[in-house]
């Protein structure tokens, strides 16, 4: 069997690096990695392509030639303190216009499938008890990042209707795993001394990567939208306790009301961070389970142990 070539954008990012590593270990695939800058530690089995910034003028024609599938993980990511005068315009330049240019060049080159790593922010910012977000819910993005991802999804669906290239959309919530950066660490520090009664769905990096790889070839994934998650909802308090146990440092939580934590976050200019874990955001992954036969391979406790081991080794 001839391996299929997969182009991964955002290959130097948190998700992109893990995806490239997973694909390199699978004999079914060869990997072409789109990079903004050279990575000396890149796997020798990867074909690197320096592409620069993602915009409406980026020329992808050579990069997508001979590619079977594109996994588009590059984006202007959600920023807690955005310095742009017009954040929505900045997000649109990269996440909408840049994405659509890549997709058009891919379609013209005969790429079979285009997988877009979107965001659960397309669904909204919070859920009511017992009413998790579902993949086919009406979108309700609230911030510029979520709006840009929604607009990109719409543009990709329209493009898919004009040719043979299939589009798959995956919306992850907060992603965590070994090497996770500031947001997850900040969130943990923010709530480490409070008892929070909420429900959150997160997705371990390994689980998200497994879903992406499943969508590269699964026939039923064509032109569908999926939500990613661990399949286990936790309160923030439970998450902090589990992480403390994984680190060998049991969390000593105090009954501080969520309203007090929210007030403290506002005074510190961290209200946006607090909102991400003080409130509830549940995700229903049943569509991926039923349509793809997909099950998250890693449970939350195992995933947190991996995070803890990496943290303790790097400390």
Whether 103 and 151 have beta carbons less than 8 Å apart is answered as: no
Give the pLDDT band of residue 269 (cuts 50, 70, 90). Answer: very low
The predicted-structure confidence for 271-292, as pLDDT tens digits, reads as follows 555 556 667 889 999 999 999 9
Question: How confident is the model at residue 130, as a pLDDT?
Answer: 81
Question: How confident is the model at residue 315, as a pLDDT?
Answer: 57
Task: Tell me the whole-structure pTM to 2 decimals.
Answer: 0.88
Question: How confident is the model at residue 191, as a pLDDT?
Answer: 47
Q: Give percent of the chain with pLDDT exceeding 70.
A: 80
- Comparison of pLDDT for 197 and 307, the residue scoring more: 307
Q: Taking every pair of C-alpha atoms in the chain, what is the biggest distance, in angstroms? A: 60
Phi, psi of 58 (to 5 degrees): -65, 130
Q: What is the mean pLDDT of residues 29-47?
A: 81
Q: What is the mean pLDDT of residues 194-216?
A: 86
The Cα–Cα gap between 235 and 233 comes to 7
Q: Which CATH superfamily is domain 4-179+203-230+284-297 in?
A: NAD(P)-binding Rossmann-like Domain (3.40.50.720)
pLDDT at 259 over 70: no
The residues carrying an active-site annotation are: 145
Question: How confident is the model at residue 185, as a pLDDT?
Answer: 57
Closest CA to 185 of 71, 269, 310, 75: 310
In DSSP notation, 184-223 reads HHHHHHHHTT------B--EEHHHHHHHHHHHHH-GGGTT
Q: Write the burial class of residue 18 (CB in 10 Å: 0-12 exposed, 13-18 middle, 19+ buried).
A: buried
Closest CA to 68 of 21, 39, 28, 99: 28
Domain boundaries, the chain: 4-179+203-230+284-297
For residue 37, give the 3-state DSSP assignment. Answer: coil
The predicted-structure confidence for 153-202, as pLDDT tens digits, reads as follows 999 999 998 988 999 999 999 898 887 765 565 555 544 455 566 778 88
Question: How confident is the model at residue 263, as a pLDDT?
Answer: 47
- Comparison of pLDDT for 240 and 109, the residue scoring more: 109
The predicted-structure confidence for 59-100, as pLDDT tens digits, reads as follows 999 999 999 999 999 998 766 555 667 888 989 999 999 999
Specify which of 38-47, 136-145, 228-237 reaches the highest per-range mean pLDDT: 136-145
Whether 274 and 262 have beta carbons less than 8 Å apart is answered as: yes
In DSSP notation, 83-139 reads --SSHHHHHIIIIIIIHHHHHHHHHHTT-SEEEEE--GGGT-S--BTTB-B-TTSPP
Mean pLDDT score of the chain:
84
Question: How confident is the model at residue 267, as a pLDDT?
Answer: 42
Phi, psi of 246 (to 5 degrees): -65, -35
Question: How confident is the model at residue 233, as a pLDDT?
Answer: 87
Q: What is the mean pLDDT of residues 130-147?
A: 93
pLDDT at 235 over 90: no
Q: Which residues partner with 33 through β-bridges?
A: 8, 48
């Amino acid at each position: 069997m001839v391996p299929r070539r997969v182009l991964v954008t955002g290959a130097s990012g948190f998700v992109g690096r893990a995806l490239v590593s997973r694909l390199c270990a699978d004999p079914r695939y060869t990997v072409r990695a789109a990079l903004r800058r050279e990575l000396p530690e890149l796997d020798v089995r990867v074909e690197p392509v320096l592409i620069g910034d993602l915009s409406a003028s980026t020329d992808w024609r050579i990069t997508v030639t001979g590619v079977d599938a594109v996994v588009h993980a590059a984006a202007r990511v959600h920023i807690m303190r955005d310095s742009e005068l017009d954040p929505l315009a900045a997000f649109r330049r990269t996440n909408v216009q840049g994405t659509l240019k890549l997709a058009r060049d891919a379609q013209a080159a005969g790429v079979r499938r285009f997988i877009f790593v979107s965001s659960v922010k397309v669904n909204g910012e919070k859920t009511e008890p017992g009413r998790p977000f579902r993949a086919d819910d009406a979108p309700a993005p609230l911030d510029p990042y979520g709006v840009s991802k929604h607009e990109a999804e719409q543009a990709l669906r329209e493009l898919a209707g004009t040719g043979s290239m299939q589009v798959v959309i995956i919306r992850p919530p907060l992603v965590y795993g070994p090497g996770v950066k500031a947001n997850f660490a900040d969130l943990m520090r923010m709530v480490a001394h409070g008892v929070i009664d909420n429900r959150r769905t997160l997705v371990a990096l390994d689980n998200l990567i497994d879903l992406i790889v499943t969508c590269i070839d699964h026939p039923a994934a064509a032109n569908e939208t999926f939500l990613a998650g661990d399949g286990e909802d936790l309160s923030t308090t439970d998450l902090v306790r589990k992480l403390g146990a994984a680190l060998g440092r049991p969390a000593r939580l105090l009954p501080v009301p969520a309203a007090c934590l929210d007030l403290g976050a506002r005074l510190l200019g961290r209200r946006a961070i607090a909102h991400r874990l003080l409130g509830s955001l549940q995700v229903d992954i049943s569509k991926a389970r039923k349509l793809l036969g997909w099950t998250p391979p890693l449970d939350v406790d195992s995933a947190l142990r991996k995070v803890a081991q990496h943290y303790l080794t790097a400390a």
